[in-house]
Chains A and B, each alone.
Chain A
Amino acid sequence: MEPVMAIAIGLLYAAAIFLMLRRSIVKLVIGLMLLSNAANLLIFTSAGMTRGAPPLIPEGMLAPEGVVADPLPQAVVLTAIVIAFGVLAFAVVLIRRAYEIVKADDLDKMKDTDT
């Protein structure tokens, strides 16, 4: 499973960076979304994938039996998803407002503050 995930994550990163290098601000934001999803998948995968072994402690014992899935990366990914959701919601509103005010979705036309 891990090799497939690794390739998928690599493709997601590549697609995200490609989109972020485009001039359109819409593609920029889509690139950011893909990028944060790629990072979340990467955390999930790099911590190791265990199939069908929830980290439950049987009654009357102090530690789970045998090899179980690591619950921490899942908690971390959950937090990261929520944060990414909030931040990207802001980014979407930002590009909408920017489009209304600048009247262009082209980054090359947003150079007023650069010089």
Chain B
Amino acid sequence: MRPEVALPVLLPLLSGAISLLFWRSRPMQRFTAVAGNLVLLVVALWLFASVHQEGYVTIQMGGWEAPYGITLVADMLSAVMIVLTALIGLVIAVYSLASTGPDHEKFGYYPLMHLLLAGVSGAFLTGDIFNLYVWFEVMLVASFALMILGGEKAQMEGAIKYVTLNLLASVIFLTAIGLLYGMVGTLNMADIALRLHEAEHQGMVEVLAVMFMVAFGIKAAAFPLFFWLPASYHTPPVAVSALFAGLLTKVGVYSLFRVFTLMFDETLDYTQDLLIWGAAFTMVTGVLGAAAQYEFRRILSFHIVSQIGYMILGLALYTPLAIAGGIFAVMHNIVVKTNLFLISGITRRLQGTYQLKKMGGLYKERPWLAVAFFLSAFSLAGIPPLSGFFAKFVIVRAGIEAEAYVVTGIALAVGLMTLYSMVKIWNEVFWKALPEDNLVPEQETVVGDDGRMVKPSLWMMTLPVGALAALSLLIGVFAEPLMQIMNTAGEQLMNPQGYIDAVLGGNVDVSEALIEVPASEEATP
């Protein structure tokens, strides 16, 4: 029994249940949110320590042996993602204490947040392809409800696009699972990997690979299926935006990494070009879309798309170094992108708007906030010694080694364009003087715990921002040890045999002896 593999899924579910029990008690829900996610972070670090020591940690749910039951499995990639999930969960919980109003908290904001984290953790840990679909849906349903919390017009319009495109992706995913099961007669990903290599119709395997690519591509917001993201991510409350920006698209990226390194590694001569050019167009369209925007969160939304391109490029180049770089980019992006959204929430609180044209003068007013933005924004653009520099450096170096010069050039040019957008925000929000027509609102007042009207405190919003900005700096300073972890993860992904052995526990013979009733034989009349 390895409880640390199952706990990252169970704990958020437990916190969510506790939150639901205290439906009417706001203080109790707020306490559960912070405490629950703090425990989650501790468990995540425990899991990471185990994986760091042993390579793979697995648990067979319900005691059913591997190809039949559901396996939860953590390799280095999963462990890193779980730690980041827990970290973002904790940061968002603290930030929400100040930023999320009582009208949102009353309608189940915290239970939904826990449910979302459970879905994300489950997707990162499961070793079963249908179970992955289930966790995707858990995550999606929670995100749907969070997205329309508050029920404003823009939220409804954004949510319709978000819901439709994500459900379409889910159905494509489900269809692909159905066809895959028809071919190989198993749902365990390690078992699928073994059987796909012996499959008769390699053409069908390529079709399935592309179906999975489309399904996860929509969820990861890759070109050309990204447009639901900038149409919806700027509409919900800012803590929700930040949570989505940090975690949701990365689950799609993680699934791409998992599926294409484990199951479809033999279709690469066909799919690699698709992935490379998909990544290139994702980078370019995202960054060009951002250049045209003058709304804080919309610029950031388009940059999510652009950064997804780097991660997919890391996968598409398909060398251990490139994959390590891709995972480094995921890690850096989760920290930095969440922080930028959180900062946009603080500026909104201070100046009452997200429109860059109406903002200004914050450098003078809040120099430390400006420093936090500076660190995050320039990290996103890839300025050394911040975290983004190393992510880009590794991917670009892997690209040059793989002699993919065009796409590497595009990656570098996109970095420059990212800098342009970030400098635009810097100039408009922090540097220029506050335009005279901006009516900075009176500080909104909220009902305090004792029932009186008080000004909301900012420190619970600035604390997470400061922590994440410092973390971004630390990732840059300690890039070497982190890069070793990423290299381990890359090596594990490139050699799926270790994963397969860990899941099936070496009893591959048993699984093959017991497939006397495969579906394909029944199908023939």
Q: Tell whether A110 pairs with B160 under 8 Å between CB atoms, given A72-B187, A79-B134.
A: yes
Report chain B residues within 8 Å CB of A44: 178
Residue among A38, A48, A91 with max Cβ neighbours from chain B (10 Å): A48
Contact of B174 among A28, A39, A101, A113 (CB under 8 A): A39
Chain B 132-173 interface 0/1 with A at a Cβ cutoff of 8 Å (1 = within): 011001001100110010011110111111011001101100
A113-B157 in contact (CB<8A) = yes
Across chains A and B, the number of contacting residue pairs, with CB separation under 8 Å, is: 126
Closest to B232 in A: A113
- If the complex has contacts A42-B178, A101-B151, are A70 and B519 also in contact, measured as CB distance less than 8 A? yes
Q: Is the CB of B178 within 8 A of A87?
A: no
A32 touches B148 (CB 8 A): no
B-chain residues with CB within 8 Å of residue A38 when the two chains form the complex: 171
Closest chain A residue, CB of each to CB of B179: A46
Whether B56 is near chain A, meaning CB under 8 Å from some CB there, is no
- Chain B neighbourhood of A46, CB < 8 A: 178-179, 181-182
Q: How many residues of A contact B (CB 8 A)?
A: 46
Which residues of the other chain, B, contact A22 by a CB distance below 8 angstroms?
none
Q: Are B164 and A28 in contact (CB under 8 A)?
A: yes
> How would you classify the secondary structure of chain B's contact residues: helix, strand, loop or mixed?
helix
Give residues 32-91 of A contacting B (CB, 8 Å): 32, 35-36, 38-40, 42-44, 46-50, 63-64, 67-70, 72-73, 76, 79-80, 83, 86-87, 90-91
Contacts of B168 in A (CB 8 A): 20, 32, 35
Question: Given the interface contacts A90-B141, A102-B156, does A48 sit within 8 Å of B519 by beta carbon?
Answer: yes
Alpha-carbon distance between A90 and B140 when the two chains are bound, in angstroms:
11
| B182 cross-chain contacts in A, Cβ below 8 A | 46-48
- The distance in angstroms between the C-alpha atoms of A107 and B165, with both chains bound, is 14
Contacts of A48 in B (CB 8 A): 182, 519-523
Shortest CB-to-CB span from B428 to chain A, Å, is 19
User: Number of contact residues on B: which range applies?
Assistant: 35 or more
CB proximity of A97 to chain B, nearest CB, Å: 6
What residues on A are CB-neighbors of B156 within 8 Å? Answer: 94, 97-98, 101-102, 110
Given contacts A47-B519, A107-B160, A113-B232, contact A91 B167 (CB under 8 A): yes
Chain A contacts for B520, CB-based, 8 A:
48
By a CB distance below 8 angstroms, the chain B residues around A94 are 144, 148, 156, 159-160, 163
Q: Is the CB of B141 within 8 A of A86?
A: yes
* Distance between A24 CB and nearest chain B CB, rounded to angstroms: 12
Nearest residue (CB) in A for B172 is A39
Q: How far is the CB of A26 from chain B (nearest CB, A)?
A: 12
CB interface residues, B 221-250, toward A, < 8 Å: 231-232, 234-235
B341 within 8 A of A: no
> Smallest CB–CB gap between A61 and chain B, Å?
14
In angstroms, Cα B161 to Cα A102, docked, is: 14
Other 12 A-B pairs with CB < 8 A, given A94-B156, A101-B153, A113-B161: A32-B167, A39-B171, A39-B178, A47-B178, A49-B523, A63-B516, A73-B519, A90-B145, A101-B151, A101-B152, A111-B157, A113-B157
What would be 12 A-B contacts, judged by CB atoms less than 8 Å apart? Answer: A36-B174, A42-B175, A44-B178, A46-B179, A48-B520, A50-B522, A83-B134, A87-B144, A87-B167, A94-B144, A97-B151, A110-B157
| Those 4 A-B pairs whose CB atoms lie nearest each other, nearest first | A46-B182, A43-B178, A48-B523, A98-B156
